[in-house]
């Protein structure tokens, strides 16, 4: 006889319970929500409450203050008929009430990052005087070698003593196993020389 496990208020055979849990997981809908609004106390609470009241769970998030604006990107999930419409309506209400700009996009079931199975993780860091083209040239070079960028963070800070603005960037990406690391380093060396910045590439 199958071992008995609890599922809500019912007692079901373990095999059936597992199948029901798998079914529930497959039926969950996932969304990416992005929001931008003038920075103020309570903006995160407003977003989190809206997501909760719409019957969704906040899974992954990235939030940052950008000057006078606050920006966030979150992955949320939920279940139930009409969930997409409920979310869109809740977003419209929050946009109107709090003067925010909100976008929501459903994620296809089973969707995964565009990373090959044999991929190797790397981190690339740059530092140097702020100038146009740092992100564009490094990102294009990584892409040319098949790299899939997963995360990129950057910021400006004044140099000690001179006050010159320095640009620092950290990029995490996956590289296919067949990619030529030495050739990638050579291409990055060319960017270093052209832009007069420091670039470090290391396995993550």
Number of domains in the chain: 2
Predicted TM-score (pTM) of the model is 0.77
Q: Is residue 158 part of a domain?
A: yes
Whether 63 and 127 share a structural domain: no
Whether 66 and 39 share a structural domain: yes
Q: Is residue 114 part of a domain?
A: no
Whether 91 and 130 share a structural domain: no
Q: Which is more confidently placed, 6 or 96?
A: 96
**How many C-beta atoms lie closer than 10 Å to residue 124's C-beta?**
23
Cα 43 to Cα 52: distance, rounded to the nearest angstrom:
14
Whether 136 and 81 share a structural domain: no
Q: Is residue 113 part of a domain?
A: no
Each residue's pLDDT tens digit, 140-194: 999 999 999 999 999 999 988 888 899 999 999 999 999 999 999 999 999 999 9
Whether 61 and 139 share a structural domain: no
- Is residue 25 pLDDT above 80, yes or no? no
Specify the residue for token string 């979310």. Answer: 87
- Residue 125's DSSP bridge partners are 170, 200
pLDDT band at 200 (very low <50, low <70, confident <90, very high): very high
Tell me what pLDDT residue 152 has: 96
Cα 175 to Cα 128: distance, rounded to the nearest angstrom:
25
Q: Is residue 112 part of a domain?
A: no
CA distances from 198 to 140, 163, 190, 191, 192 (A): 17, 18, 11, 9, 6
Specify the residue for token string 């990235």. Answer: 62
Whether 96 and 9 share a structural domain: yes
- CATH code for the domain in which residue 65 is found: 3.30.70.260
User: Mean pLDDT of all residues in the chain?
Assistant: 88
Tell me what pLDDT residue 26 has: 55
- Is residue 20 pLDDT above 60, yes or no? no
Whether 168 and 135 share a structural domain: yes
Give me the domain span that covers residue 63: 4-107
DSSP for residue 91: H
Q: Is residue 150 part of a domain?
A: yes
């Amino acid at each position: 006889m199958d071992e008995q496990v609890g599922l809500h208020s019912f007692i079901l055979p373990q095999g059936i319970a597992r199948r029901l849990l798998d079914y529930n997981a497959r039926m969950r809908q996932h969304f990416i929500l992005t929001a931008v609004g003038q920075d103020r106390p309570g903006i995160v609470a407003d977003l989190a409450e809206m997501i909760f009241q719409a019957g969704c769970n906040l899974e992954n998030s990235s939030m940052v203050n950008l000057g006078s604006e606050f920006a966030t990107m979150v992955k949320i999930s939920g279940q139930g008929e009409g969930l997409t419409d409920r979310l869109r309506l809740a977003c419209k209400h929050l946009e109107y009430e709090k003067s925010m700009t909100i976008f929501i996009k459903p994620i296809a079931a089973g969707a995964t990052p565009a990373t090959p199975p044999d991929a190797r993780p790397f981190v690339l860091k740059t530092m140097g005087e702020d100038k146009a083209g740092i992100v564009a040239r490094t990102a294009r070079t990584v892409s040319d070698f098949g790299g899939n960028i997963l995360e990129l963070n950057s910021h400006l800070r004044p140099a000690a003593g001179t006050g010159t603005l320095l640009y620092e960037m950290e990029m995490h990406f996956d590289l296919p196993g067949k990619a030529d690391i030495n050739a990638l380093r050579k291409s990055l060396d060319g960017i270093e020389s052209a832009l007069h910045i420091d670039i470090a590439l290391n396995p993550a």
